[in-house]
Chain A
Amino acid sequence: MQPRTVLGAATVHRFDAIVVGAGGAGLRCALELSEHDYSVAVISKLYPVRSHTGAAQGGVGAALGNEEEDKPEWHFFDTVKGSDYLGDQDAIELMCEEAIAAVYELEHFGLPFSRTPDGKIAQRPFGGHTRNFGEAPVKRAAYAADRTGHMILHTLFDQCVKKEVRFFNEFYVLDLLKDGDACLGVVAYELATGEIHIFQAKATFIGTGGYGRVYSITSNAHASTGDCMAVCLRRGIPLEDMEFVQFHPTGLRRLGILVSEAARGEGGILRNREDLDNIGSGKDGFMAAVAPTVKDLAPRDMVARAIYDEIKAGRGIDGSGDTGSDYVYLDLVHLGEMVINTKLPDISHFSRTYLAVDPIVEPIPVQPTTHYAMGGIPTDTQGRVMRNARNEPVEGLYAAGEVACVSVHGANRLGTNSLVDIVVFGRRAGADMARYLKDAQFGHIGSEPDAFVRSEIDRLKHGGGKERVADIRKAMQSVMMVNSGVFRTEENLTTARDTIAELRQRYRQVGVGDQSDYFNTELVEAVELGFMLDIAGTIAESALNRTESRGAHSREDYPERDDKNWLKHTFISVDEDGQVSFDYKPVTITKFKPKPRVY
């Protein structure tokens, strides 16, 4: 093999449409586009089946009513209430209605759902999903054991293989090509060779997932680094509602590996140190006092806070009061071997492998783990990216899935609603792109569209910087976990913001030792860190700015929800000098007027 240099000319590709990201959102979008006669390419930094959609466990929410009566209106209401009234109700209504067809469609693509005794798709209860506007939990999560995301990812990928969709695997998108308010494609770095590629397109879709790795304890994959949110921010597109970060109540202690809410859906109970005698009894735990109707199936934000409250009050298992290290128990013992092995096989396996704890005989040590990005790139219900709070689109640019903010999850996402989101809005974006492509033209790209990317790579590889990626990344992850986590105050958010600003300065001095062009994973990690620092900054700034508590954003210094001043979406922008500015968009309210959120 001949060494190649990154200074040579870039390879230029032209497609009618490109899809960045091959998780559930990207693949569903690509499938929709494959119904038409356009040239399409999917670009992904991972092999498609490695995408983090494959880690989703518990289920995909749809009011199929297979196990008991259910209605899309109830799903709609639960999602609005779960969002703490920040979700846009037009988008939520549409999602809950289309969820039903979307789930049947997945089944028609061959998805092996678990089954009811009469052969229908099986469903189970999940946090915040209720019957008749909050009366009691309802079985709404359609599932395939605790591997629902794996089945969705593989089923969609299989269909893409069937349709002969073109993939560029292990291509890392680093920049967006823009001309004024139009998107003309992307710039990508080929991991195998270090070559730069220009992908010119009339329509570009972004489905690059979340940013959990900004935090030290997370259920997210190493690849979940918020890349394309940061790319958009750098290219002048604001990000919406970045203060809303979901902490899932039950991550495996220290590791953050997720124990799905399905475990509580099947009857699991959280226990503190005063409750050890009740292990295996099936008796109520501490959640019964926090949420009397739904108990352990309260929405995630409430359960995560309740766990921290227990720990702070010295009722964590080790009693230290330290939310960083203390934990509580998730008790499945009373469910018995049969339920645990057939309905929750993977999470039992994780618990045995990583903690040497067998949930059949003993409770699982758990603590909250950073899980999901409610905020992201602002879009409308067609998946079109908005360039400001006044609903003006970026021509030819689309996004859906965790990277985007429609907003259907508002201030707190309900479990099972992300898998719905990716298939419903992935499809809608693909359909709108196909419409858009009818009259769209290729834009004119300037003479050196890759100049920025080349100079960044050059600086990291040859700039002689002495700072190490790992040091800055660790500092970022820990400051975010401690200061921009489940509970927030002006003081700790200021610490987070200022520390991130310092780390960004240090990042300018980062040097990459590996000089190779071939699979330079050290370089990739350095670039990812740059993206994550940008994201961390927007989270801390937006959280400091919002002086109320709503959903997952819990300010100890502003403990109440403040509908008078804050029933609105945050749009954060950062200019070239790093100056932050905010704008706001009203929440779309159709059927459900904001009410206090009690369960």
Chain B
Amino acid sequence: MQVTVEIWRYDPVTEESHFDSFVREADPTERVLDVMLAIKDEDDGSVAFRKSCAHGVCGSDAMEINGLNRLACQVLIQDLETDLIRIRPLRGMKVLRDLIVDMDPFFEGLKQVQPYFIPAEEAPATEYRQSIDERAAFDDTTKCIMCGACTTSCPSFWSNDAYLGPAAFVKAHRFIFDSRDAGDSVRSCFRPRRLAVAPASSWSLV
């Protein structure tokens, strides 16, 4: 099928931005990322975006595709149900060039939730014991690949510099609800101020 791909361009030297439009043949089962790579290979090598794993596990290529934040490698052309594809950089972050945004503040912000394991007890000789149910309580939030798609789709994040956004809660949840972790007290300074924490059972993320 024929698709029209409009890609946001931003030049940090002139600080000028606009959409460039590319018309291409694409198979409906191709990933949006495949089409972008074909544009880069054949039409305009200077289009800049991040990519790596190409199957939705590394978090490099979160961008706004037809109005929704998604991973370009996880959306097939046919999923979009249109032949017009409009791609923009994530909102609420400083655009460095084209579709590449500055992710440093995102990663820096996460540090406020102490995003690492704080063990409840001295390490045993083998493993800490944890039941299958205890492990299941935080399973969803272990899956986060830190792509930033959630945080950058949140209007509060766009307007409030102090607000860390959902990815930080996901990271905090992953530890707060880990039965082996004792970081609650240190993370609680973050907890009540930012979010009324729902019980794990009602918290379905990712």
A residues engaging B (CB < 8 A)?
1, 3, 46-47, 49-52, 54-55, 64, 104, 107-110, 112-121, 144-145, 147, 150-151, 154-155, 158-159, 161-162, 169, 192, 221-223, 255, 257, 346, 350, 353-354, 356, 468-470, 512-514, 516, 518-522, 525
Interface residue B138 (Cβ < 8 Å from any Cβ of A): yes
Contact A221 B74, CB 8 Å, known A1-B13, A115-B130 = no
* A221-B53, A346-B57, A356-B29 given; 5 more Cβ-contact pairs under 8 Å: A104-B123, A469-B45, A470-B40, A519-B48, A522-B45
- Pick the residue among B31, B60, B115, B181 that contacts A46 (CB under 8 A): B60
In chain B, what residue has the closest Cβ to A224? B52
Interface of B is mostly: loop
- The stretch of B95-103, B151-159, B187-195 that contacts the partner chain: B95-103
Which B residues are CB-close (under 8 A) to A518? 12-13, 96-97
| Bound complex: CA A500 to CA B116 (Å) | 46
- The stretch of B17-25, B80-88, B140-148, B197-205 that contacts the partner chain: B140-148
Interface residue B51 (Cβ < 8 Å from any Cβ of A): yes
Contact A350 B146, CB 8 Å, known A1-B12, A518-B13 = no
Interface residue count on the B side (C-beta < 8 Å):
61
Contact A150 B46, CB 8 Å, known A222-B51, A519-B100 = no
Q: How distant is B139 from chain A, measured CB to nearest CB, in Å?
A: 8
Interface of A is mostly: loop
Interface residue B161 (Cβ < 8 Å from any Cβ of A): no
B58 touches A55 (CB 8 A): yes
Which A residues are CB-close (under 8 A) to B115? 158, 161
A519 touches B98 (CB 8 A): yes
- Pick the residue among B13, B52, B126 that contacts A516 (CB under 8 A): B13
| Bound complex: CA A145 to CA B139 (Å) | 10
Q: How distant is A302 from chain B, measured CB to nearest CB, in Å?
A: 26
| Bound complex: CA A144 to CA B180 (Å) | 16
- Pick the residue among B45, B57, B59, B139 that contacts A513 (CB under 8 A): B45
- Pick the residue among A3, A49, A144, A521 that contacts B13 (CB under 8 A): A3
Contact A109 B117, CB 8 Å, known A161-B111, A513-B46, A519-B48 = yes
Q: Which of B91-147 contact A (CB under 8 A)?
A: 96-98, 100, 103-104, 107, 111, 115-117, 119, 123, 125-132, 134-135, 138-139, 142-143, 145-146
Q: How distant is A572 from chain B, measured CB to nearest CB, in Å?
A: 28
- Pick the residue among B11, B44, B52 that contacts A221 (CB under 8 A): B52
Which A residues are CB-close (under 8 A) to B12? 1, 518
A46 touches B52 (CB 8 A): yes
Which A residues are CB-close (under 8 A) to B8? none
| Bound complex: CA A104 to CA B49 (Å) | 38
Interface residue B16 (Cβ < 8 Å from any Cβ of A): no
- Pick the residue among A55, A169, A470 that contacts B42 (CB under 8 A): A470
A54 touches B57 (CB 8 A): yes
